[in-house]
């Protein structure tokens, strides 16, 4: 879904079903900062259906590794946007190249064992 907060911050998100007809919309620290809001503050929320496909941009080095591991690539390709995004963010968030390389190898290992999330 698409979300507009206080008529100034727009982003794409999903509602979390909390059961009993209750849903929750999480706001990241960055979004709260953009709004100038903190916990307990009131935020005007407008929601509408998001019909655009969500696409995760896979860095070339990660795509090459996936291409070399057909089974891992097949599993990755079938995962939801959220899980794909989580893996790529985890790899891109590495501060050192050695960490990035370790995470790429670990990602392939986790995909081969059917692990969707980090």
Query: What does the alpha-carbon distance between residue 19 and residue 85 come to, in Å, rounded to a whole number?
Result: 25
Instruction: Find how far residue 60's CA is from the centre of its chain.
Output: 18
Q: Where are any strands of DSSP class E within 1-118?
A: 2-5, 9-12, 16-19, 22-24, 45-48
Kindly report whether the global pTM for this prediction surpasses the value 0.85.
Answer: no
Rounded to an integer, the average pLDDT of 64-88 is 95
What tokens appear for 85 in the block? 């995004």
pLDDT at 37: 93
Task: Work out the pLDDT band at 53, boundaries 50, 70, 90.
Answer: confident
Identify the weakest region by mean pLDDT among 53-57, 75-79, 107-111.
53-57
């Amino acid at each position: 879904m698409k979300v507009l907060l206080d008529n100034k911050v727009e982003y794409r998100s999903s509602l979390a079903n909390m059961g009993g007809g209750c849903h929750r919309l999480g706001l990241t620290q960055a979004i709260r900062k953009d709004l100038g809001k903190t916990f307990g503050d009131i935020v005007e929320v407008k929601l509408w259906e998001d019909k655009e496909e969500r696409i995760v941009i896979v860095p070339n080095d990660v795509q090459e590794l996936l291409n070399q591991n057909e089974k891992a690539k097949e599993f990755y390709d079938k995962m939801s946007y959220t899980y794909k995004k989580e893996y790529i963010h985890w790899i891109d968030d590495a501060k050192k190249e050695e960490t990035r390389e370790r995470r790429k190898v670990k990602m392939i290992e986790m995909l081969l064992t059917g692990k969707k999330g980090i």
